[in-house]
Amino acid sequence: MAEESHIPQTVISSRKRKVGHRKGNKVMKKRKPFLGMAERVKKIDPKLKKFLRKKARDYNSDVEEDEEEGSLNDKEGFTNVDGDDYGDMEDGSDELENDSEGSETEEEDGEIQPGITKFSEGCRAFRMAFKSIMKKSVSNDSLGPVLSGHKKLLAEKLAEEAAERKVHGEAKKEKQLLGEKGHLKPANYLDSHEKFLISVATKGVVKLFNAVNKAQNAQKGLNPSRSKDAKVIKKRRKEAFFSELGKTPGAISSAKVNSFSTPAEAEGPSWAPLRDNYMLTSSKFKDWDKMPDTAVADDIGRMSEDSSSDDD
């Protein structure tokens, strides 16, 4: 594993980097303590070495491009995120370069370093890079840390989205407003109009209750379910009815309190046949002129019916 990771880097670097060659010396010196170990490996047959190298190249031929791209992207990302850390970044990449150059020089010497050494070096570089990233303070940008080169595009897109949402919201609000048309929240206090309405309603209730009181006072103490009492009740009601009839029509309290009205409209008598428009409103007498004889009889029958029903 370590070896593999080591070899591709050499390949890439051999292509990419030819400048900064001199820097590598330092690394060379550093490497020396490991040479002892390297010498043991050195005994590898040159044929085998060649084969290995070729194999490694083949292996990395497709990875190469990706890696290149990746590194490119990385660099762009680093530079984009923050201007302040630029120097730091440079340091980190410098070191990376150093490593790669070191390996390059080694290769030129015809030495292959065992993976272990390389690993430790790479690890350090990685650590440095990682450290520098972690050190960075994230800017308070609304976008947050974006490692993409399309920061501007992204911002544009977000702004567009926001505008769209705004338009959408406004349309929705308008629709809701239309739906709320006529909807009125009542005030906490009672204004004069409401008070007037309540007083009208109260008058109506009082009128009904008094009427009920008057009607039910007559049958007080009697149980309508008992036949003896029922007879008495019937008699009393009849009396009450005839006494009502004797009064002036305006004074009669309506039998159907449901249809009672406030003084403004309490003009006609409540008993239907006494009303002026009795024949007009009643559907029974619509065609009264067509069959005069039967209609009259019907009328009488109806009147008696009415009186008896009012009796009850």
Residues within the interface to other proteins (CB under 8 A)? 176, 178-188, 193-194, 197-198, 200-206, 208-217, 219-220, 224, 237, 253, 255-259, 261-262, 264-265, 267-268, 312
Choice between 180 and 289, CB closer to other proteins: 180
Tokens of 8: 């591709």
Those residues with Cβ within 8 angstroms of residue 68's Cβ, 6 or more apart along the chain or in another chain: 12, 16
From residue 169, alpha-carbon distances to 87, 159, 163, 165, 172 in Å are: 46, 15, 10, 6, 5
Smallest distance, other proteins to C-beta of residue 265, A: 5
Smallest distance, other proteins to C-beta of residue 206, A: 6
Choice between 23 and 237, CB closer to other proteins: 237
Choice between 70 and 224, CB closer to other proteins: 224
Distance CA 312, CA 69 (A): 103
Choice between 161 and 306, CB closer to other proteins: 306
Smallest distance, other proteins to C-beta of residue 189, A: 9
Choice between 75 and 175, CB closer to other proteins: 175
Smallest distance, other proteins to C-beta of residue 207, A: 9
70-79: list long-range contacts, CB under 8 Å, 24+ apart: 76/149, 77/147, 77/148, 77/149
Smallest distance, other proteins to C-beta of residue 199, A: 8
Amino acid symbol at 235: K
Query: DSSP states of 232-246 as a string?
Result: HHHHHHHHHHHHHHH
From residue 286, alpha-carbon distances to 17, 57, 296 in Å are: 114, 112, 13
Smallest distance, other proteins to C-beta of residue 280, A: 11
Query: DSSP states of 272-285 as a string?
Result: GGGSTTHHHH-GGG
Choice between 248 and 283, CB closer to other proteins: 283
